[in-house]
Copies of this chain bind each other. A is one copy, B any other.
């Protein structure tokens, strides 16, 4: 059985990516990150999803992105609310974490090398997150190139493949694909600023993108909103 490391944040995109990897016959090794105080709800979602989908193993790496703190996702600055779709779509969002996907893929690469796996799955999406430079196809290609040169197995001839199966899908397309694969979206978490009892705010960029996606997919979002 082929092995693959899958980055799993507990949101819709990474969960759908995990389901796609499993549907392609990979034994999956899910990797999540705890990197600041705002992420406990995400880790909890990722853990439930990993169990529900039946991954081979799920690991959570504790990493310290606060050392480069410049983003609403790791810092104490406010998450923007109720922004217009045009504002969400334009430019690099305030929630951008510098080099985040580079750091995440580096860990995935390290684990893949240990597992002797040559496949890594990441749920990046170039359409809905056009403002994130590290969600574009050319970034993925550059990382594949780096992976070959960065590792013992790469040097020995292994060709790492970074799969980004959602990269050119729209949010409603991702949600429909996930639904076809039987994902229970009530397990997923997207909100940047949930309430103390774990409900989504419904107003941050991530909630707005999610709600719009479900609406356009013609499906009901099963999670609770504040």
Chain B residues near A59: list those with CB within 8 A.
Answer: 67
Nearest-neighbour CB distance to chain B for A96, whole angstroms, equals 6
Q: Which of A189-211 contact B (CB under 8 A)?
A: none
On chain B, the residues within 8 Å of A99 by CB distance are 106-107, 109-110, 113, 150-151
Which one of B103, B110, B154 lies within 8 Å of A107 (CB-CB)? Answer: B103
B68-A107 in contact (CB<8A): yes
Interface residue ranges of A48-80 to B (CB < 8 Å): 59-65, 67-70
Would B107 and A133 count as touching, CB distance under 8 A?
no
Decide yes or no whether A136 CB sits under 8 A from chain B: yes
CB distance from A204 to the nearest CB of B (A): 20
Provide the main secondary structure of the chain A interface. helix
- Judging by beta carbons under 8 Å apart, are B133 and A142 in contact? no
Confirm or deny: A225 has a beta carbon within 8 angstroms of a beta carbon on chain B. no
**Chain B neighbourhood of A63, CB < 8 A:** 61-64
Knowing that A102-B109, A142-B150 touch, tell me 16 more A-B residue pairs with CB under 8 angstroms.
A59-B67, A61-B64, A62-B64, A63-B63, A68-B107, A68-B114, A98-B113, A99-B110, A99-B150, A100-B110, A102-B146, A103-B103, A103-B106, A133-B152, A133-B155, A139-B150
